[in-house]
A = this chain, B = another copy of it.
Amino acid sequence: MKIAIVGIGLIGGSMAISLKESGFAHHIIGIDRSQDNLDKAIRRRLIDEDLSLQEGIAAAEIIILATPMNALKELLPKVLDLVEDQVVIDVGSAKVDILNIVRHHPRRKNYVASHPMAGTEYSGPEAAVPNLFDNRCTVLCDIEDSDEKAVELTRQLYAAMNMSLIYLDANSHDIHAAYVSHISHISSFALALTVLEKEQDEKRIFELASGGFRSTVRLAKSSPEMWVPIFEQNRDNVMDVLDEHINTLARFRSLLIKKDFKQFHQLIEKANSIRKIIDKNL
């Protein structure tokens, strides 16, 4: 299979590795606004060649869109304008906005909306890693609006990447993504800022920071170029979850004020039940 990937960063680059390794792709075309990224991707053998958007689309059977979500909004209709019977798959982290944009596009059926739930806090082609997607899950959204053959090809592609599939409407996807991914990032950014603003003496944090701190602020290293457009496109859901998160923190605060450590204990016990969810899923 000849696959074009637009946006050769963490996700696009890691997909290139997986799809090559599994044998699903025999030829990967890289397309990127940054020639520097393309050069790196060629040197790392992530892609076999780099082409312009037009050439790449004409040459490929599947086109994967793995750009930040602000670029995706302009890119997706443009790509659909150019395709004939190729399948177009995006991997964006928010779905309602992007699906609305192409709702009435004459090639809408060529397009399958997907979100592979995997990533790291790094970005760019240098961040691409093997096995990033192994045993993770991909959400396919609103597949009834896609051509059956396009959906089937998408299924095969993600199966080749060792991923399982779940099916959600775009709205449910965006709500769940706000809870299990987007809020974690805001929490981590905020925690990093809180500590940075206080601890001017960086050496002290450097010395004292233990594994726990590192784990909770890991996502704070994530790039604003990728994340701001996600928060922008999933703003309403992110705001709802953020409100609930602030309320939960305020509950802890109020228990500290009242020195109600019995209730504090009960809340932590309740939080502990996250164990059975995340330990199952290692």
Contacts and interface: CB of A to CB of B under 8 A. Distances in A.
A250 B246 contact: yes
A276 to B, nearest CB: 8
Given A176-B199, A232-B261, A190 B220 contact: no
A269 interface: yes
A238 B265 contact: no
Nearest to A214: B278
A195 B271 CA distance: 9
Interface stretch (A15-23, A34-42, A141-149, A203-211): A203-211
A188 interface: yes
- Copy tally for this chain in the complex stands at 2
Contact of A228 (B137, B223, B265, B276): B265
Contact of A183 (B118, B191, B244, B265): B191
A84 B271 CA distance: 44
A239 B257 contact: yes
A272 B224 contact: yes
A233 to B, nearest CB: 10
A43 interface: no
B206 A184 contact: no
Given A197-B244, A242-B252, A249-B187, A215 B210 contact: no
A241 B137 contact: no
A58 interface: no
B235 A193 contact: no
A59 to B, nearest CB: 32
Given A179-B198, A209-B180, A264 B215 contact: no
Contact of A216 (B188, B232, B249, B271): B188
Nearest to A204: B176
A243 interface: yes
Interface in A8-66: none
Contacts of A192: 271-274
A185 interface: yes
Interface in A240-282: 241-246, 248-253, 256-257, 259, 261, 264-265, 267-281
Given A117-B208, A252-B190, A253-B242, A224 B185 contact: no
Contacts of A190: 245, 248-249, 251-252, 271
A202 to B, nearest CB: 6
Contact of A176 (B137, B188, B208): B208
A235 B259 contact: yes
Q: Which 9 A-B pairs have the closest CB atoms?
A: A224-B268, A192-B274, A189-B271, A192-B271, A184-B216, A190-B248, A117-B210, A224-B265, A194-B245
